[in-house]
Amino acid sequence: MTTNETAGTNGAPVPAPEQRLEMFKLAPEYYQAMTAVERASRQGLDPKLAHLVKVHASMINGCAYCIDMHSAEGYRHGEQDHRLLSLPAWRETPWFTARERAALALTESITLVTEGHVPDAVFAEAAARFDETELAQLIAVIATINVWNRLSITTRMSPAAK
């Protein structure tokens, strides 16, 4: 099997989806600007929390490239398998702190903004757990990962393409 293939249900290789285009080559100024936004968005936030939020938004959006990337980065910052694997069911698990839960709820509301916008209760809970600067950075991280997800999904970036 090549690095761009995975095993299918019968064990036969299944090629990764063909990448449609390479944004960093075709729109380099935009890509560099997004990279700068990415760096700025996470300033002052615990990297482990930032990656938890990025993985959660990426799972909601179905972005394989970003799930893979931010899971690996989360592991490098001490994240654990059981926490990342249980993100879709974070409300039913005991291992997320109140602060992380507030961040995950805000992530869902911002990511799924067309489904009720960001409810006052969700924002208020996040505002109770983060100071204003941290909350602004958290919102920036969530907004930024959603842009990256849309770029990666649209262009069909694959984790195998690393």
pLDDT tens digit sequence for 22-57: 888 888 999 999 999 999 999 999 999 999 999 999
- Please report whether residue 62 resides in a domain: yes
Question: Which domain covers residue 107, as residue numbers?
Answer: 23-161
Tens of pLDDT, residue by residue over 70-123, are 999 999 999 999 999 999 999 999 999 999 999 999 999 999 999 989 999 999
- Residue 81 and residue 102: Cα distance in Å, rounded? 20
Q: What would the two tokens of residue 20 be?
A: 């449609």
- Please report whether residue 16 resides in a domain: no
CATH number for the domain harbouring residue 61: 1.20.1290.10
Task: Output the DSSP codes for 25-86.
Answer: HHSHHHHHHHHHHHHHHTTTS-HHHHHHHHHHHHHHHT-HHHHHHHHHHHHHTT--HHHHHT
How many structural domains does the chain have?
Answer: 1
Q: Is 42 exposed, middle or buried (0-12, 13-18, 19+ CB in 10 A)?
A: buried
- Please report whether residue 154 resides in a domain: yes
